[in-house]
Amino acid sequence: MTEGDVIVFVVDDDAPLRESLTNLLRSVGFRVAAFASAQEFLRSPRPGVPSCLVLDVRLPGLSGLELQQRLAESDLAMPIIFITGHGDIPMSVQAMKAGAVEFFTKPFRDQALLDAVQQALARDRTAREQRAQREALHHRYRALTPRERDVLALVVTGLLNKQIAAELGITEKTVKAHRARVMEKVEARSVAGLVRACTAVGVEPRDYSSSKYRAPWPSQPRAHSA
């Protein structure tokens, strides 16, 4: 993935600085979208590619910190690099605790900003890959039949095939057939792989003692942040 495959958003109400930041980022090949306010940024479309936000703390209307909170609450969070000419320690602590990549006080070195942008984009790229993996797992799980889900939920507790057969009131041969199909559909090579897959989509291994059991199954992927 090259710099052209990502996008850096810049939000700053200082027009000369906004232009300077845009030119700096474009000079090293980044695609840039710049805005004068948080509201303008929120109204803009966001391409589904790795991205980050270079954000001024003090803005007219919605502040940078308020925008950070708004994005997190709407599940649109992206890595943020804060810049400000009037920063203080409590402000920077608040921003960093909320997940900011960096907090720069103006003036700052161009290279420091570029390094932070690279770090932020790498973070967002990883988060997007993890989300895609979780969504793929949910898709595979939803393809399982109810009985395959029952078998899966007992396999990940560590039960043997004959124990699962007794628990579900079916033959051991049938358990083996279901188990093989589960491994194939989930694309897992071992019980450990099944456990990791279940944990990733929110199905935790538990102890079961009733043949009336039916496996819990999340209908939608969990909410997440970058």
Task: Write the DSSP string, 33-53.
Answer: EEESSHHHHHHS---SS-EEE
Q: What is the DSSP string of 180-208?
A: HHHHHHHT-SSHHHHHHHHHHTT------
Query: How far apart are alpha carbons 143 and 140 in whole angstroms?
Result: 5
Measured CA to CA, the distance from residue 99 to residue 23 in angstroms comes to 26
Predicted confidence at residue 1, as pLDDT, reads: 44
Query: Which pLDDT score, from 0 to 100, does residue 89 have?
Result: 74
**pLDDT at residue number 80:** 96
- Confidence band (pLDDT; 50, 70, 90) for 218? very low
Tokens of 103: 């907090």
200 vs 195 pLDDT, higher one: 195
Mean pLDDT along residues 27-36 = 96
Select from 1.10.10.10, 1.10.3720.10, 3.40.1480.10, 3.40.50.620 the CATH code of 143-226.
1.10.10.10
Q: Would 3-130 and 143-226 be classified into the same CATH topology?
A: no
Contact 218, 204 (CB under 8 A): no
Residue of 137, 221, 146 lying closest to 185 (CA atoms) = 137
What pLDDT, in 10s, does the model give residues 146-193? Answer: 999 889 989 988 899 999 999 999 999 999 999 999 999 998 889 888
Position 38 scores a pLDDT of 96
pTM of the model: 0.71
Mean per-residue pLDDT of the chain? 86
Question: pLDDT tens digits for 36-79?
Answer: 999 999 999 888 899 999 999 999 999 999 999 999 888 778 99
Q: What is the pLDDT of residue 45?
A: 87
pLDDT in the model for residue 226 = 40
SS3 category, 99: coil
Helix (H, G, I), strand (E, B) or coil at 31: strand
The yes-or-no verdict on residue 19 having pLDDT over 90 is yes
Confidence of residue 205 (pLDDT cuts 50, 70, 90): low
- Looking at per-residue pLDDT, the higher value among 29 and 131 belongs to 29
* pLDDT above 60: residue 219: no
pLDDT in tens, 95-152: 888 889 999 998 899 999 999 999 999 999 999 998 888 888 888 888 999 999 889 9
Domain ranges of the chain: 3-130, 143-226
Fold of 3-130: Rossmann fold (3.40.50)
CA–CA dist 200, 27 (Å, integer): 40
